[in-house]
Amino acid sequence: MIEGIAPCVDGGRFAAKRVVGDVVTIEADIFADGHDLISAVLLHRHESETAQSETRMTALVNDRWRAELPVDRLGFFYFTFEAWIDHFLTWHRDLKKRAEADLEVQLRIGLEMIRSAAGGAKDRDRKRLEHYVAVIEGDDEIQDKVHDVASEELVRLMERNAERKFATSYAGELAIEVDPRRAGFSAWYELFPRSAGAEGKHGTLRDVEAQLPRIAKMGFDVLYLPPIHPIGATFRKGRNNSVAAEENDVGSPWAIGGKEGGHKALHPDLGTMDDFRRLVDAARSRGIELAMDIAFQASPDHPYVAEHAEWFQTRPDGTIQYAENPPKKYQDIYPFHFESDAWADLWKELCDIFRFWIDKGVRIFRVDNPHTKPLPFWHWVIRTVKKHRPDVIFLAEAFTRPKIMYWLAKAGFSQSYTYFAWRNTKYELTKYFEEITKPPVSDFFRPNAWPNTPDILPEYLQYGGKPAFTIRLMLAATLSANYGIYGPAFERFVGSPREAGSEEYLDSEKYEIRNWGPTDDDLTELIAVVNRIRRDNPALQQNLTLQFHETSNDDILCYSKSAGSDVVLTIVNVDPHNTQAGYVDLDLAVLDLDANQPFQVHELLSGARYTWHGPRNYVSLNPHVVPAHIFRIRRKVRSERDFEYFL
Instruction: Give the residue numbers annotated as catalytic, written as ranges.
Output: 368, 397
From residue 468, how far is each of 132, 195, 476 by CA, in Å?
A: 72, 25, 12
Give the Cα separation of 326 and 329 in Å (integer). Answer: 7
According to DSSP, the residues that pair with 355 across neighbouring strands are none
21, with CB counted inside 10 A (0-12, 13-18, 19+), is exposed
Instruction: Determine which helix (DSSP H) or strand (DSSP E) holds 148, and give its type and residue range.
Output: helix 142-149
> Which are the contacts of 434, defined by CB distance < 8 A and separation ≥ 6?
546, 548
| One-letter identity of residue 141 | E
- 383-390 long-range contacts (CB < 8 A, ≥24 apart) are 383/412, 384/351, 385/351, 385/354, 385/355, 385/358, 386/412, 389/358, 389/363, 390/74, 390/75, 390/178, 390/179
Q: Give one DSSP letter per residue of 463-507, joined into a string.
A: HHHHHHHHHHHHHHHHH-SEEEEETTTTTTT---BSSTT--SBTT
Contact 343, 318 (CB under 8 A): no
Query: What percent of the residues of the chain are helix, what percent strand, and what percent coil, each to the nearest 5?
Result: 30, 25, 40
**Is the omega angle on the peptide bond into residue 374 within 30 degrees of 0, that is, cis?**
no
Amino acid at 113: M
Give DSSP secondary structure letters for 585-604. E--TTTTT--TTS-EEEEET
- For residue 599, the cross-strand partners are 612, 635
- What is the separation of C-alpha 429 from the centre of its chain, rounded to a whole number of angstroms? 18
Q: How far is residue 42's CA from residue 130's CA, in Å, rounded to a whole number? A: 28
